Structure 1
């Protein structure tokens, strides 16, 4: 979803309706993976656990995306925030 939500910022001269259509296309492909993954995962994890894991993956891929696409390296505060999110995921997943 990072590409769908933020990728268009690299192409600000593109008309907004094309940016929206491209974002929807990318999001559709990601949903085609996420929905079946949640269905499979819900057999062994709670909805809360699935969501927290999804957030960790989303934040992690966003940090990589921001670095590669926009040359924004994470700051120390952001690394600490990411670590706290990982701790939250661990606590949510712990049975």
Structure 2
């Protein structure tokens, strides 16, 4: 079977409103702050009332809390890209904190 003929192509404008591969609207830094705060609240609510021994014994609880920490980390990573001045301790592009000696 051959590819679709130009007669069946969807017409589009010839000019682009933004560069290919980049979002047209810049992300709102508040979204990442909300994601991090929401994940922290969930992790706290999951672990509320648990002892450390109980936490260690419950694989599902550990997985849920760890997932929320992953979400916090990713939200702060993305925030550092769109608003680097908001995330303290982030320097350069490696995503690693550089400690002064």
Structure-1-length-normalised TM-score: 0.38
More helix by share: 1
Larger Rg: 2
Which structure has the higher relative contact order (CA within 8 Å, separation 6+)? Answer: 1
